[in-house]
Structure 1
Amino acid sequence: MNRITLRGAEALPDVGPLELRATGSGGLVFGLMVGLPSVASLFTAPTGFRFWLAAVTCALLAVALPFLLVVQARQRALGVLVRLDSYGVGVGGGPATPWRDLSEVRSVKGAVVLVPRPGVELPVVPSAAPFSRPGRRAAAYVRRYGSPLVLMPRGLDAGEQRILAAVRRLGRIPLGAG
């Protein structure tokens, strides 16, 4: 009998690696939600303050939407940002950091922080933001979270609980709460 058809099979753990990709459609959707009413009000507000407010909003939208489309395309082009597997944590297609090089994993304010052992350098997750500098982001993450390797589930295709479950299953390292 196939294991999948057994009663309670939905409780079986996921045994494969977890690959995390950027989702990145939130800014585009927000821009459209703000922009469409502004365009509509431009046609219904012929004079006065409402006209100028709608015109300025439409102009900002005309600049912001192409910018958001570029960011969206760059995020899709990045592919797999982080791969959690039985060996360790791979970031941006680079060499994987073995689980033994991590001291703990913390959940801090909606972020999953992978903390290195002393002397181990971790990479920062790639970003599609046009003016993002990996060195500056790594320094900011170290100041705020204590590690440069910070996973922000709200921008990834897997939630915090799924990431923590993969760490528990694959890494067998202590989970803490920040």
Structure 2
Amino acid sequence: MSLPVLGTLDSLPALDRPDLLAEPVAAALAGWAPAERVAVVEIDPDLADTAALTEAYDLPLRASANCVVVSGRRDGEERVAACVVRADTRADVNNLVKRTLDVRKASFLPMERAVDETGMEYGGITPVGLPERWRLFVDASVLDLDVAVVGSGVRRSKLLLPGRDLGDLPRAEVLTGLGI
């Protein structure tokens, strides 16, 4: 099976390079059937942010999928979700996410807390290997990407995989209109 390729990035089988993955990402890939279709690409960590990455590596912005973490409360219970949307959109936090989490107000989880709870680096948080108690929302348009670029858990690499596979991640809930 051939690995996904995009722009000027050199693809390697993700499972062959655990040194380019955060621990929870490597563990999640090891137990996930579609992992054979997941590539990892080493990048300059200073270019991990989407805009810099797309320019430096000749990638279409539409191919990148960002993962943001949102939380809210209902009846004293915190509810957390990671939201995956194409980079040319933003997550509909104030409407769809808030309604789907069934909270009065949804806001972005503080960066320090997201990093601590995921075991991933800021700028590398990915939907692969998230904490089990978190929900995972994936925008339906992400599934249409032939190759999606997502974080690897660290800033020095990215994962490339078929967009449809993001909808097959454990606990993934595919939502139409998540990315606006």
Structure 1 length-normalised TM:
0.26
Higher relative contact order by CA 8 Å / sep ≥ 6: 1 or 2? 2
* Higher-helix-fraction structure: 1
Higher strand content, 1 or 2: 2
Q: Which of the pair has more CA radius of gyration?
A: 1
